[in-house]
Amino acid sequence: MQKFDVLIVGGGMVGLTLALAIRKQSDLTVALADTQVLSELTEQPEIRVSAINAASQQIFTRLNVWHDIAGQRSQPYHHMHIWDKAGYGKLDFNLDDVSGSSKPDQLGWIIENKVIRNALWQKAQSDEGISFFTEEAIASIGVGDSEVFASFGSSVPITAKLLVGADGANSWVRKQINMPLTFRDYDHHALVATVSCEQGHQDTAWQVFLPTGPLAFLPLYQQNLCSIVWSTSPEEAQRLRGLDKAEFAKEITAATDGKLGRVSLESELGCYPLMMRLAQDFVKDKVVLIGDAAHTIHPLAGQGVNLGLLDAAALAQTLTGQLADGQQQSPDDISNEILLKQFARWRKSEAAEMIAAMEAIKQLFTPQQEVSKLIRGIGMSLLDNFSPAKKHLIRQALGYKGKLPDLAK
């Protein structure tokens, strides 16, 4: 039987970030279990991408992996343009709206998920304190008085002082430990794809609010390519998926008012349902949930992965910080209930705040009466011309809000 300090189930971006953050700040040993191994980048960009904000970029920089990520296929954006299809309201965000010593060189980065995961995975493999378990999925989990036991179908079982579920929205760990979940169907499906834009993306993230939901154009590493996230009703998503490429091009070009020129589909059209999820508890006994296993939000602001990366940095700080401070006598105490509950309160409050903000924005742009559209348009125009409010919103988008873990500062 192999023994570790921390067992992380889920080797996606969040789980790998946690493993690297723990190792950077301590000598704790980490086991990482995930049967989905690396896949090579293809010539065509992956249709699933992430908007990485300044706080997340700082985490990757501190973990000495940002150079590996940014050196591959990544695209900074310096502007954001948001408008209301049903009215005249619009918002423009630029680097000029950011002030202070922490002003970054860009508003954010659009990077394929595979690029980020591959760089993190390779970095983790070079750390002798991180052991990978990729041959078999964990078959069962048992929580004892001092350890968590994980068994495989035929491999040798492993034990750890703490188990972390970083295994996504449909978390197997969450189900095994019977951790209750609050959820609500957004009644939206997200269409994701790579498209080409006649006029190029202009280093800008574009978003139009349509009567059925938001459509975002996220700039990719080639000037004519964008990744789209089109959130719409299930019925509309099914209709759009049934169109041929020429028909789809006409619809999406019309939806953008021609601001990017003619838009055409360059990949398959992926589709997945959107649901808000929030675990009622992020901690139970010696088990912790982070990332999508703990919370999922609407993608309209592109903050889901950033929220998860902050979870990882915060949990690593909670575990390793106490060891460094001498408040714990040994690594045996990393499952200390008081410390873990403090982490849970910290991160759950941040997740709940983000969920509420996304719900407010979604409701604001649902189909309404003409007078509501008028008020919404006036409000957007006023905000666009009110510098203090814009600066506050941009700092939030950059991730500079709330209680930040040290790795993100």
Residue 364: is its pLDDT beyond 80?
no
Residue 90: is its pLDDT beyond 90?
no
User: In this predicted structure, what is the pLDDT of residue 370?
Assistant: 47
Residue 340 lies inside a defined structural domain of this protein: yes
Residue 93: is its pLDDT beyond 90?
no
Give the angle subtended at the CA of 269 by the CAs of 266 and 274, to the nearest 5°: 140
Q: What percent of the chain has pLDDT over 90?
A: 71
Domains: count for the chain:
1
Tokens coding 147 = 């350890």
Non-local (6+) Cβ contacts of 177 within 8 A are 141, 143, 165, 284, 285, 287
User: In this predicted structure, what is the pLDDT of residue 379?
Assistant: 65
CB 9 within 8 A of CB 166: yes
Which domain CATH number covers 19?
Answer: 3.50.50.60
Residue 317: is its pLDDT beyond 50?
yes
Please give the backbone phi and psi of residue 277, each rounded to the nearest 5 degrees, phi first: -130, 140
Residue 38 lies inside a defined structural domain of this protein: yes
User: In this predicted structure, what is the pLDDT of residue 362?
Assistant: 65
Residue 33 lies inside a defined structural domain of this protein: yes
**How much is the average pLDDT of 196-219?**
95
Residue 385: is its pLDDT beyond 80?
no
User: In this predicted structure, what is the pLDDT of residue 293?
Assistant: 98
pLDDT in tens, 167-183: 999 999 999 999 999 99
Model confidence at 154, pLDDT cuts 50, 70, 90, reads: confident
Residue 190 lies inside a defined structural domain of this protein: no
Residue 263 lies inside a defined structural domain of this protein: no
pLDDT in tens, 49-88: 999 999 999 999 999 999 999 989 999 999 999 998 877 7
Residue 245 lies inside a defined structural domain of this protein: no
User: In this predicted structure, what is the pLDDT of residue 153?
Assistant: 86
Residue 392: is its pLDDT beyond 80?
no
Average pLDDT of the residues of the chain: 90
Residue 397: is its pLDDT beyond 90?
no
Residue 306: is its pLDDT beyond 80?
yes
Instruction: Give the range of the structural domain holding residue 96, as residue numbers without chain letter.
Output: 2-182+275-408
pLDDT in tens, 9-46: 999 999 999 999 999 999 999 999 999 988 889 999 99
User: In this predicted structure, what is the pLDDT of residue 393?
Assistant: 72
pLDDT in tens, 108-121: 999 999 999 999 99
Residue 102: is its pLDDT beyond 70?
no
293 compared with 390, residue with greater pLDDT: 293
Contacts 24+ apart (CB under 8 A), 259-264: 259/81, 259/199, 259/206, 260/197, 260/198, 260/199, 260/200, 260/201, 260/206, 260/217, 260/226, 261/197, 261/198, 261/199, 262/197, 262/198, 263/195, 263/196, 263/197, 263/198, 264/195, 264/196
Residue 151 lies inside a defined structural domain of this protein: yes
pLDDT in tens, 221-257: 999 999 999 999 999 999 999 999 999 999 999 999 9
Residue 223 lies inside a defined structural domain of this protein: no
